[in-house]
């Protein structure tokens, strides 16, 4: 009997054999697999009491009602609010990703003061009292020097009570420079032709023939969820005709896509008007009685004027228009007949998702089509949505300093003798500052909601201009491009932490407003921008302080909305009678009391009627053709937000690999052009424009006109967080603004470009 090595091997084998016959290996395998799912760094939402908070999403002007699911005190999911008129319970990718703005790492957590160089990222945390004192100190100094008109405030929107409070502050202080961050040609066109100030609403729900001049109707235009809802019901006999140089998502889903030379949409509208008038297809009951400037006319001074009819019949024949646009005459005629013969046609004229530039002439030409079919303020037509009247503003007293400086011309040139009609010309600001000799015309710039260093064309020029501004204050809740370049950041609450009235959803004719309500308590030491404005005013004292008799913004808002408060807080929206009234048929506030093809507000003396009537003139774009043989245009996508807020990581995840791969974005190029230039799919190239250059990759695409490059807009952020920044190229780095000679609006729909192998 000897115990040897073999015995122990036998023991081991016995143990192994026995163990396999016990639950040990199987149970451990199962437990370990569950253990791996529960590592402490795996985020698991807390379990607890669920609740829903009603609010309105303000990440875009879409005005969608939302309900936010909360577990105990943490918001865990943003959902569409059922039965909200804008979105009917549905929501877009941006809205769904909204929590990434609230809980993401790009938040500014307390007031900050710059200590390093501009944009260097060195900050010192300061208290709210210190911040407000420092800024009002600067403002007082400027006022004592008689320079309140050297202060400007840029905001994303001019609708709602927060921008109005800011405007009131500026008025009391003495600055005429409230600047909305985007100009809007269709808004101005409709104002000139109908005399009504407001945003343009299209009743697409009830239209049966939608003629879109490059509007990215399914790519984030207007109130994006509403548009997708309408598309979901397209079987309800609607025809969508999309006119644009690129086979966009909208074009691909349209009944008909008309590829057109970039920038010539206005000419096509006039060509269609030509045929509608020639074949007498226009709506006589409207055109014969309710319009001015259609037929030739003689004014009170006996001067003969050319009407729209004569002008269009003479100058925009199908042959001429076909030559300009590249669309053949037959197609133009077919488009015009289809439009005019439809029961409820509507023409939509803002480019892209509404943020892309466009000239006044083009917008007027498109709106003229709406007048020809008589769908102004009609079901299925176009209406102007005015600012509601619920806010009661006590009369404002101003002192002499303010009164004097309010007489000064605006820094952006809007409303001056050069551009009397324009309200906001933000793209002119960098040029004005950079071209000024000596002291820069802007001594202090405040930025709320907007992110001009990212959204204004020509980023380099914008940065150079902002570098010259002695005091740059951002109210952004996030460390965006503008905030990271500023001197002070006074962080606002995010959209889920604050009260705000929300104007009627963009692009709709819904006579409603919404109320954004705090869904969670503010996470950090942030403050509502309107409260800061009120505190700044009080700290300024005298007339400025007296203009703000309210304790804080919430008490002001509750008072202003007291008739609607219950409905607003419960349903997220309320109908506003004053908006409803303004969209009734027959309301035109023009001098003639009619719809004006020849806007009386425009002076035809210097350049004749031609310059005043809806017309097309080729927009010059930057760059010499021999040096830059290609055209570069931007395009919008439902999956990339291109406004002031950056694309949240959830959305970036949805971008196709032929739009953005790793950190590089793709531009689209027709394969014919690519072959001619010797490029193939996926090639790395450097794209050069007169404004800058960038490395991108090529995606060959038959849906883009030969000779044109299309680039996604909304990429290329450099601020926020490492999760958001550094992906692709900001289109605005490569393009500069182009002024419309009539309105001053930015008309740069593209820029000349060249590509070379990287």
Shortest separation between residue 33's beta carbon and another protein, angstroms: 9
Outline where 343-424 has alpha helix (H). Answer: 360-372, 400-406
The residue (of 3 and 115) whose beta carbon lies closer to another protein is: 3
Q: Which stretch binds another protein (CB under 8 A): 13-21, 143-151, 362-370, 711-719?
A: 13-21
Tell me: does residue 18 bind another protein (CB under 8 A): yes
The residue (of 44 and 115) whose beta carbon lies closer to another protein is: 44
CA–CA gap between residue 204 and residue 200 (Å, rounded): 12
SS3 label, residue 30: helix
CA–CA gap between residue 577 and residue 121 (Å, rounded): 48
Q: Which stretch binds another protein (CB under 8 A): 18-26, 211-219, 507-515, 686-694?
A: 18-26
Tell me: does residue 392 bind another protein (CB under 8 A): no
Tell me: does residue 82 bind another protein (CB under 8 A): no
Structure tokens at 715: 């990429």
Q: Which stretch binds another protein (CB under 8 A): 26-34, 213-221, 311-319, 454-462?
A: 26-34
CA–CA gap between residue 266 and residue 615 (Å, rounded): 7
Tell me: does residue 255 bind another protein (CB under 8 A): no
Backbone angles phi, psi at 296, to 5 degrees: -65, 150
Q: Which stretch binds another protein (CB under 8 A): 38-46, 218-226, 532-540, 554-562?
A: 38-46
Sheet order of strands, 573-575 included: 500-502, 512-516, 573-575
CA–CA gap between residue 154 and residue 151 (Å, rounded): 10
Tell me: does residue 21 bind another protein (CB under 8 A): yes
Shortest separation between residue 32's beta carbon and another protein, angstroms: 6
Outline where 104-177 has alpha helix (H). Answer: 128-144, 161-173
Instruction: Specify the DSSP class assigned to residue 670.
Output: -
The secondary structure of 671-717 as a DSSP string is: HHHHHHHT--TT-EEEEEETTEEEEEEEEE-TTB-TTEEEEESS---
CA–CA gap between residue 108 and residue 720 (Å, rounded): 10
Q: Which stretch binds another protein (CB under 8 A): 39-47, 316-324, 465-473, 577-585?
A: 39-47
Whether 530 and 138 have beta carbons less than 8 Å apart is answered as no
Q: Which stretch binds another protein (CB under 8 A): 30-38, 316-324, 470-478, 479-487?
A: 30-38
The residue (of 66 and 135) whose beta carbon lies closer to another protein is: 66
Q: Which stretch binds another protein (CB under 8 A): 21-29, 93-101, 163-171, 654-662?
A: 21-29
CA triple 551-557-563, angle to 5 deg: 130
Tell me: does residue 2 bind another protein (CB under 8 A): yes
State the helix-helix crossing angle for 329-341 and 265-278, rounded to 10 degrees.
70
Q: Which of 47, 395, 626, 662 binds another protein (CB under 8 A)?
A: 47
CA–CA gap between residue 208 and residue 515 (Å, rounded): 31
Tell me: does residue 44 bind another protein (CB under 8 A): yes
Tell me: does residue 235 bind another protein (CB under 8 A): no
Tell me: does residue 6 bind another protein (CB under 8 A): yes
List the x/- string, 157-196, binding to another protein by CB under 8 A: ----------------------------------------
Tell me: does residue 8 bind another protein (CB under 8 A): yes
The residue (of 24 and 464) whose beta carbon lies closer to another protein is: 24
The residue (of 20 and 578) whose beta carbon lies closer to another protein is: 20
SS3 label, residue 18: helix
CA-nearest of 671, 657, 658, 654 to 709 is: 671
Tell me: does residue 50 bind another protein (CB under 8 A): yes
Number of residues that bind another protein (CB under 8 A): 39
Shortest separation between residue 39's beta carbon and another protein, angstroms: 11
CA–CA gap between residue 23 and residue 492 (Å, rounded): 58
Tell me: does residue 657 bind another protein (CB under 8 A): no
Report the interface residues with another protein, using CB under 8 A.
1-4, 6-24, 27-28, 30-32, 34-35, 37-38, 44-45, 47-50, 52
């Amino acid at each position: 009997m000897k115990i040897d090595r073999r015995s122990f091997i036998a023991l081991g084998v016995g143990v192994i054999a026995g163990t396999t016959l016990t639950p040990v290996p199987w149970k451990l395998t199962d437990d370990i697999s569950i253990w791996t799912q529960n590592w402490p760094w795996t985020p698991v939402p807390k379990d607890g009491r669920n609740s829903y908070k009603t609010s309105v999403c303000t990440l875009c002007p879409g005005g969608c009602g939302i309900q936010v699911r909360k577990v105990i005190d943490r918001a865990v999911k943003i959902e569409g609010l059922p039965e909200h008129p804008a979105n009917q319970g549905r929501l877009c990718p941006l809205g769904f990703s909204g929590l990434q703005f609230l809980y993401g790492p790009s938040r500014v957590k307390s007031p900050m003061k710059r200590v390093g160089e501009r944009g260097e990222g060195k900050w010192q945390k300061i208290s709210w009292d210190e911040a407000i004192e420092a800024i009002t100190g600067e403002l007082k100094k400027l006022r004592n020097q008689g320079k309140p008109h050297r202060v400007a405030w840029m905001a994303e929107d001019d609708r709602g009570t927060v921008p109005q409070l800011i405007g009131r502050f500026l008025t009391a202080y003495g600055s005429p420079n409230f600047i909305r961050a985007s100009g809007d040609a269709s808004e101005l066109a409709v104002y000139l032709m109908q005399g009504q100030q407001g945003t343009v609403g299209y009743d697409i729900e009830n239209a049966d023939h939608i003629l879109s001049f490059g509007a990215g109707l399914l790519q984030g235009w207007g109130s994006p969820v509403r548009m997708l809802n309408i598309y979901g019901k397209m079987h309800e006999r609607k025809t969508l005709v999309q006119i644009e140089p690129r086979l966009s998502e909208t074009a691909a889903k349209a009944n008909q896509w008309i590829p057109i030379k970039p920038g010539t949409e206005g000419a096509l509208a006039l060509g269609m008007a030509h045929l509608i008038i020639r074949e007498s297809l226009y709506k006589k009951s409207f055109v014969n009685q309710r319009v001015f400037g259609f037929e030739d006319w003689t004014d009170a001074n006996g001067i003969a004027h050319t009407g729209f009819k004569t002008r269009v019949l003479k100058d925009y024949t199908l042959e001429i228009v076909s030559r300009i646009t590249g669309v053949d005459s037959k197609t133009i005629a077919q488009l015009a007949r289809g439009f005019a013969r439809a029961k409820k046609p509507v023409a939509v004229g803002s480019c892209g998702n509404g943020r892309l530039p466009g000239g006044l002439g083009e917008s007027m030409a498109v709106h003229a089509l709406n007048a020809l079919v008589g769908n102004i303020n009609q079901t299925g037509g176009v209406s102007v949505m005015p600012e509601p009247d619920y806010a009661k503003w006590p009369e404002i007293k101003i002192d002499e300093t303010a009164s004097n400086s309010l007489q000064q011309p605006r820094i952006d040139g809007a409303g001056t003798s050069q551009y009397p009609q324009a309200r906001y010309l933000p793209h002119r600001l960098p040029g004005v500052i950079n071209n000024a000799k000596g002291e820069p015309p802007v001594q202090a710039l405040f930025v709320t909601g907007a992110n001009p260093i990212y959204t204004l064309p020509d980023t380099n020029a914008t940065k150079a201009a902002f570098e010259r501004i002695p005091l740059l204050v951002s109210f952004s809740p996030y460390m965006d491009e503008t905030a990271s370049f500023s001197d002070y950041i006074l962080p606002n609450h995010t959209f889920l932490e604050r009260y705000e009235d929300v104007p009627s959803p963009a692009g709709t004719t819904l006579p409603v407003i919404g109320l954004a309500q705090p869904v969670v308590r503010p996470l950090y030491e942030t403050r509502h921008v309107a409260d800061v404005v009120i505190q700044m005013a009080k700290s300024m004292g005298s007339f400025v302080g007296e203009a703000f008799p309210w304790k804080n913004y919430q008490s002001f808002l509750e008072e202003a909305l007291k008739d609607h408060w219950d409905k607003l807080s419960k349903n997220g929206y309320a109908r506003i009678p004053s908006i409803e009234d303004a969209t009734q048929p027959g309301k035109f506030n023009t001098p003639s009391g009619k719809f004006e093809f020849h806007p009386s507000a425009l002076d035809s003396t210097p350049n004749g009627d031609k310059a005043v009537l809806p017309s097309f003139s080729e927009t010059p774009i930057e760059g010499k053709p021999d040096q830059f043989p290609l055209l570069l245009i931007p395009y919008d996508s439902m999956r990339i937000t291109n406004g002031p807020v950056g694309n949240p990581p959830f959305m970036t995840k949805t971008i196709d690999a032929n739009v953005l791969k790793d950190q590089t974005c793709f531009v689209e190029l027709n394969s014919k052009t690519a072959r001619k230039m010797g490029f193939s799919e996926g090639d790395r190239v450097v794209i050069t424009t007169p404004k800058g250059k960038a490395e991108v990759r090529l995606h060959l695409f038959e849906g883009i006109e030969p000779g044109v490059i299309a680039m996604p807009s909304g990429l290329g952020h450099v601020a926020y967080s490492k999760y958001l920044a550094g992906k692709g190229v900001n289109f605005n780095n490569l393009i500069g603004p182009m002024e419309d000679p009539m309105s001053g609006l930015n008309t740069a729909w593209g820029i000349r470009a060249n590509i070379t192998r990287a």
